Amino acid sequence: MRDLLRFEPLYQERVWGGRALESALGRSLPAGRPIGESWEIVDRPEAQSIVRAGHHAGHSLRAVLEQHAADVMGPKWPASRRFPMLVKWLDCRERLSLQVHPPAEVAEELKGEPKTENWYIAHTSHDAHLLVGLKRGVTREQFEKAIKDNTLESCIHHFRVAAGDSILVTSGQVHAIDAGNLILEIQQNSDTTYRVYDWGRVGLDGKPRQLHIEQSLRSIHWNDFEPAPVRAAPTSGVIADCAEFRIRRVVLGAGERLSIPSGEQPRLLSVVSGAVRCGADGSTGSRAPFGQALERGENVLLPFAGAFTFVAESTAILLVTENFA
């Protein structure tokens, strides 16, 4: 197992979704439906990524790990353990609900899973914002009163974003994504979300969506005030570093290379701008088809046992996610 793994996207209909994955990333979407999420890499009981090319085409990520855990994740990885990351594209045509994911200290009691995630802003409409954390000085008492008064937005930290910005959103941090953002979300493998507020919206069935106010109030970190995003930059560097994973932004000029050695750790590679070719310069590296192109929007898994060289066709920006095994 030395080839990179590319997967079929799993498209999810959402009331706040749209068609930007089609227009911005060239995806072929189910007709006539608001597609809010594309699950790119996932290993969960309710959702499985399917390998779309190469020797393991048609196999689920779970099946690949059961058969080749040591090659994919490293020699100490139990074959029964789920892949620890989940990668999604989010098309936020409308504002998402105000929500929180339970921190580890309360997740088990609430029968949920903690989830720390990173948002990379690939595209925004004019004046798009994110809502993350509390405004400085807001107390739990003020927050609860604002829920009853329908004024909760006044308690939440807002900031404008542009393409290339990113922010790490930790478990326990209240948050929402504003309308007009196309986001790559790289997160822990979890699907526990508590909605505390939904702006008076109804779901696809025409009924108000379920809220989880009690669970949210128990999960929110009440001293989390006004976190700052990592702003776009033309240079390489770390954009997220937490206990669960690290993400590096890698900026390549035309003809420049990124080399990933074998035997270190598994990694995820996300192409957020431009395009690269795998082994296109003829160097030793991936056993994937010579010159295989990875276009903007692609997310691939680089196994522990593989060595890879990526060459930029023009200026490209890659995200390398590591330290999750």
CATH assignment of the domain containing 141: 2.60.120.10
User: Is 119 among the domain residues?
Assistant: yes
Domain stops at, among 191, 219, 247? 219
Q: Beta strand pairing status for 117-124 and 166-169? A: antiparallel
User: Residues 200, 244: one domain?
Assistant: no
User: Residues 135, 247: one domain?
Assistant: no
Q: What is the pLDDT of residue 290?
A: 43
Q: What is the pLDDT of residue 283?
A: 42
User: Residues 295, 215: one domain?
Assistant: no
User: Residues 19, 151: one domain?
Assistant: yes
User: Is 61 among the domain residues?
Assistant: yes
Which residue among 6, 62, 195, 249 is the active-site one?
A: 195
User: Residues 267, 120: one domain?
Assistant: no
Residue 225, number of CB atoms within 10 A of its CB: 13
Q: What is the pLDDT of residue 62?
A: 98
User: Is 227 among the domain residues?
Assistant: no
User: Residues 163, 247: one domain?
Assistant: no
19-59 pLDDT, tens digit per residue, is: 999 999 999 999 999 999 999 999 999 999 999 988 899 99
User: Residues 205, 138: one domain?
Assistant: yes
User: Is 224 among the domain residues?
Assistant: no
pLDDT mean for each 10 residues of the chain (325 residues): 92 95 94 96 97 94 98 97 98 96 95 96 93 98 96 96 97 97 97 93 86 97 97 97 98 96 97 88 42 93 96 96 95
- Supply the range of the domain harboring residue 171: 5-219
Task: Label residues 175-213 b or e (16+ Cβ within 10 Å = b).
Answer: bbbbbbbbbbbbbbbbbbbbbbbbeeeeeeeeeeeebbe
Residues sharing a CB contact under 8 Å with residue 145, sequence separation 6 or more, in sequence order = none
Q: If we measure between CA atoms, which residue out of 4, 1, 25 comes closest to residue 290?
A: 4
User: Residues 69, 214: one domain?
Assistant: yes
Domain stops at, among 219, 248, 276? 219
The yes-or-no answer on residue 296 being catalytic is no
User: Is 228 among the domain residues?
Assistant: no
User: Is 253 among the domain residues?
Assistant: yes
Domain stops at, among 219, 247, 263? 219
User: Is 303 among the domain residues?
Assistant: yes
CA–CA gap between residue 103 and residue 106 (Å, rounded): 6
User: Residues 136, 260: one domain?
Assistant: no
User: Residues 242, 300: one domain?
Assistant: yes
Helix, strand or coil, per DSSP, at residue 237: strand
The residue whose two tokens read 């802003």 is 121
User: Residues 29, 157: one domain?
Assistant: yes
Q: How many domains does the chain have?
A: 2
Residue pair 294/300 in contact (Cβ under 8 Å)? The answer is yes
User: Residues 128, 45: one domain?
Assistant: yes
DSSP at 154: G
Residue pair 287/320 in contact (Cβ under 8 Å)? The answer is no
User: Is 225 among the domain residues?
Assistant: no
